[in-house]
Copies of this chain bind each other. A is one copy, B any other.
Amino acid sequence: MKGSLELTRVAIVGLGLMGGSLAAALKERNACQEVWGIARRKETIDEALQRGFIDKGTCKLANGVKGADVVVLATPVRVIIELIHELSPLLPSGCLLMDMGSTKREVIKAMGALPPHIQPLGGHPMCGKETSGLAAAEANLYEGAIFVLTPLPRTSQEALDLAKELVKAVGARPLVVEAERHDRLVAAISHLPYLLSLALVMTAEEVAAEDDLVWKLAASGFRDTSRLAASGVTMMLDVLVTNREAVEEMLARFRGQMDRLEKALKLGEEKRLRRLIESARRQRTEQLRGATR
């Protein structure tokens, strides 16, 4: 394995928002020797080349990873898992294979079956937008974001260090977290909000069936709270399906908290309601104070 990022050729599989932005950031900062792109559609490769995000590109996986020092999988989680199996006989010896999927347990499990000459490592940058695709990609997407890394027991220190160098090179902050712990925590702060956002839109839709003025009155509050409902469908479906248990745990906890609020409101326990609201407001303000995005 090449120990220094600047000497590596980085192949990125999937040039959507995340992969495209990673390519753009690596190129803009001149962080590695070359950036290669692999995408399903020829038009995506052409756009990435034209925007200067990659040095070369191909639609053929085998060609795209040949001679690569680092391969980054940037597709929906279940495609990542398929790609790991598919890449198993194709990856060069000593290659670092990492991913940027939103759940980690099943990815890590698939990585565990790779031949020993490959260095696998899970990754998940805690950033994004509700718009997907290469058109939305931008070089500063990772700026200031936490980038979770989930090494396997077999992952060498050298491979982890190279991944950390890559993460820092695009402006993000590496944070090593165990895969199961990661999945449970993102169920609370990412997958639960997504489901709430969907169910909120579905509720408004239900009300709109009786009175469609409801959409006209929707202002910034509704817009913010429902923003995640605009996320990429396939990406989020993969997330939910590969993290079902943790998501169900968080839904149950959420119901419990909603019940506390509703009970206080229903019983006219105003002091209790005010305490709950004040505490949540304080928590939100204090805990998100330092967050950059």
Min CB distance A214 to B, Å, is 5
Does chain B have a CB within 8 A of A87? no
| Residues of B close to A157: CB separation below 8 A | none
Please tell me if the beta carbons of A220 and B285 are within 8 angstroms of each other in the complex. no
A32 beta carbon closer than 8 Å to chain B: no
* Contact flag A228-B218 (CB < 8 Å), given A254-B200, A261-B195, A261-B199: no
Q: How many copies does the complex hold?
A: 2
Q: Is the CB of A199 within 8 A of B257?
A: yes
Task: Look across to chain B and name the residue whose beta carbon is closest to the beta carbon of A196.
Answer: B196
Chain A positions 106-144 with a Cβ under 8 Å from a chain B Cβ: 126-129
Distance of A287 Cα from B204 Cα, bound (Å): 10
- Is A16 positioned at the interface, with any CB of B under 8 Å from its CB? no
**Which residue of B219, B248, B276 is within 8 Å of A262 (Cβ)?**
B248
Distance to closest chain B CB from A115 (angstroms): 31
Compute how far the CA of A276 lies from the CA of B129 in the bound complex, rounded to whole angstroms: 21
The answer to whether B219 and A228 touch across the interface, beta carbons within 8 angstroms, is no
Contact flag A217-B265 (CB < 8 Å), given A204-B188, A274-B233, A281-B229: no
Contact across chains for A202 and B257 when beta carbons are under 8 A apart: yes
Decide if B258 touches A146 in the complex (CB within 8 Å): no
- CB of B288 within 8 A of CB of A202, answer no
Task: Pick from B146, B204, B256, B276: contact of A198, CB below 8 A.
Answer: B276
Write the nearest CB–CB distance from A25 to chain B, whole angstroms. 17
Q: Contact between A217 and B283 (Cβ–Cβ < 8 Å)?
A: no
Q: Does A155 contact B (CB under 8 A)?
A: no
Q: A185-B214, A202-B260, A223-B293 are in contact. List 15 more A-B contacts (CB 8 A).
A: A126-B217, A146-B216, A184-B211, A189-B214, A189-B215, A189-B218, A196-B258, A202-B261, A205-B283, A207-B253, A219-B291, A225-B225, A237-B273, A237-B274, A237-B277
Of all A-B residue pairs in the complex, the 3 with the closest CB atoms, nearest first, are: A193-B225, A202-B257, A215-B287
